[in-house]
Structures are given as structure tokens and as C-alpha cells.
């Protein structure tokens, strides 16, 4: 979904660069790099990394859900508000968006860290 | 997973959190209209997340999951992978902090050169492990 949205914005940026709000460029990059590549890494590592334990193979799964919801809510908020945010306008929404994405990163790192196991 | 993979992945996770924290700060500055040294911090943000997080995590997973050798050390020599880890992280900090600390451009250049060295060192280990299914078992 994020990949399609990023590529769709990419089409608009290529066809009508002068008419697109300047804030849409970082939105495009972040949809691609955070929404697609990083989120795919989150998902594949949650699936394939060594089991946390025999009884609880995926470990702190709820943290994985926190990462998923925070990352996507933060990105969505950014997509909606950033193109129109400048000189302080849109303020608190961008703060919340950044906070949600940071929470996603911390939740994911905390979730996957114990599953990085040396042998 | 091998120790070198775990080291790459754990370091990458640290960069993920620090890199997003810098990005969130920049976003807050944009939203609330307070001034930060935007360009140097944005360059550091990009360096930490693109090289420190994405590239390094991918290297860690690749070293763990690429096909193993049939003879000798199953994942090839660990030395080049350790060298890649050292060079990559030296490169991230030199190239990322250079603009923030207003260091001479040669420092950032040295950082980028270290990153090239990291990729070459990693390739020494990884390239021989990229082979069609079953070839390693027959050819060794």
C-alpha cells in the first residue's frame, strides 16, 4: 500500500513538479523508505528471526503490533499534513507524526533485539 | 546466527532509533517553526538510516542467510565481515557528523571511502556465496 502510494506520488512529482507542494517530496521519500523498505524488513524479521523461546516463539508480539500501528499512523499523519505544513503551520500534527514513528522504531528494536541470537 | 550477523544487526537497530529520533526532531521543528541547523541534521538523519540502518541490517541478514559453503567455514571467512562492520561504522560517523561538526570536507570524503571499503570487504565474503541452488553441495 505504502509502496503504491509512494510510486503514485512519484508519478505526480514527475509529471507536474512545479504544481506539487514542496512538502510532498519528503513525504514521497518516507513512504518509500519507511513505509515500504523498513516496514518490509520489520515484517520479514518478525517472521524469520530465531525464536524467542520454545513456548513463545515470536516473543513480545504486542510490541510488533505497536510498531505496525505507530509506524502507519505516523506516516499517514505525515502524508496528510506535511505537504501543507510550512512556517509553523500544521505544527502539532507533525510533532505527533514524528513521535509515533519514533515509538514505532523503539517498539520494533525492543521486540526484535532478544531474537538476534548468536550460535 | 553467526556473531558477525548479530553484531551488524544490533548496531543497525541502534542507528534506527537514533536516526528516527533526529528525524522526529526535524519534523517537530518544521511543524512548530523553531530553527535547527536543518541541512547538516538532515544529512546525518539520512546517513544513519540509509547506511547505518538499512545497509547494515541487510548485510547482517545476508551474511546469515546466503547459501553456505559445502567445505571449509560454512559462511566463509569472518575477517572481511568484521572489517566491513568496522569500516561501515567509521564511515557512518565520519560522513554523518562531518557536516554537523563543520569538519573539513576531506573528513566526509574519508567516511564515504570507508563505506566503499566496507562494501568491498563484505563482497569478499558474500560474492562466492551467491550461487544457484545445489551448486555449493556439488562443487564445494
CA–CA separation, A108 and A39 (whole Å): 10
- B58: enclosing H helix or E strand: helix B56-65
Residue contact B28–A95, C-beta within 8 A: yes
pLDDT band, very low/low/confident/very high, at B140 (cuts 50, 70, 90): very low
Nearest by CB to residue B24, choosing from A50, A88, A98, is A98
Question: Looking at the 3D structure of chain B, how many domains does it have?
Answer: 1
**Predicted local confidence at residue A3, as pLDDT:** 86
> Looking at the predicted structure, is the pLDDT value of residue A88 above 90?
no
A28 in reach of chain B (CB within 8 A): no
Q: Is B136 part of any domain?
A: no
* Residue in A78, A116, A117, A119 to test binding to B, most B beta-carbons within 10 Å: A116
Lowest mean pLDDT, pick from A6-20, A38-52, B12-26: A6-20
The CA radius of gyration of chain B, in Å to the nearest whole number, is: 18
A43 in reach of chain B (CB within 8 A): no
Q: pLDDT (tens digit, 9 = 90+) per residue, A21-49? A: 777 888 889 999 999 999 999 999 999 99
Q: Whole domain around residue B16: which residue ranges?
A: 3-128
| SS3 assignment, position B104 | coil
Q: ipTM for the complex?
A: 0.90
State the virtual CA torsion across A59, A115, A108, A30 in degrees, nearest 10. Answer: -140
Q: pTM to 2 decimals?
A: 0.92
Amino acid at each position: 500500500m505504502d509502496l503504491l502510494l509512494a510510486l503514485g506520488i512519484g508519478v505526480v512529482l514527475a509529471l507536474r513538479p512545479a504544481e506539487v507542494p514542496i512538502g510532498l517530496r519528503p513525504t514521497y521519500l518516507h513512504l518509500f523508505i519507511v513505509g515500504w523498505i523498513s516496514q518490509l524488513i520489520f515484517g520479514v524479521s518478525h517472521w524469520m528471526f530465531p525464536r524467542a523461546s520454545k513456548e513463545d516463539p515470536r516473543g513480545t508480539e504486542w510490541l510488533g503490533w505497536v510498531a505496525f500501528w505507530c509506524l502507519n499512523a505516523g506516516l499517514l499523519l505525515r502524508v496528510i499534513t506535511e505537504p501543507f505544513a510550512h512556517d509553523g503551520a500544521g505544527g502539532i500534527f507533525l510533532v505527533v507524526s514524528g513521535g509515533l514513528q519514533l515509538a514505532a522504531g523503539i517498539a520494533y528494536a525492543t521486540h526484535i533485539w532478544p531474537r538476534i541470537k548468536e550460535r | 546466527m553467526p556473531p558477525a550477523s548479530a553484531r551488524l544487526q544490533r548496531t543497525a537497530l541502534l542507528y534506527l532509533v537514533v536516526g528516527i529520533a533526529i528525524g522526529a526532531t526535524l519534523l517537530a521543528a518544521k511543524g512548530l517553526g523553531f530553527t535547527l541547523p536543518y541541512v547538516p541534521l538532515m544529512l546525518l538523519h539520512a546517513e544513519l538510516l540509509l547506511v547505518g540502518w538499512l545497509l547494515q541490517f541487510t548485510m547482517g541478514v545476508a551474511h546469515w542467510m546466503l547459501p553456505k559453503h559445502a567445505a571449509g567455514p560454512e559462511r566463509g571467512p569472518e575477517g572481511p565481515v568484521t572489517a566491513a562492520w568496522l569500516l561501515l561504522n567509521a564511515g557512518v560517523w565520519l560522513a554523518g557528523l562531518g557536516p554537523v561538526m563543520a569538519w573539513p570536507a576531506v573528513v566526509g570524503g574519508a567516511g564515504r571511502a570507508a563505506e566503499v571499503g566496507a562494501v568491498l570487504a563484505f563482497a569478499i565474503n558474500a560474492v562466492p556465496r551467491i550461487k544457484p541452488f545445489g551448486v555449493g553441495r556439488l562443487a564445494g
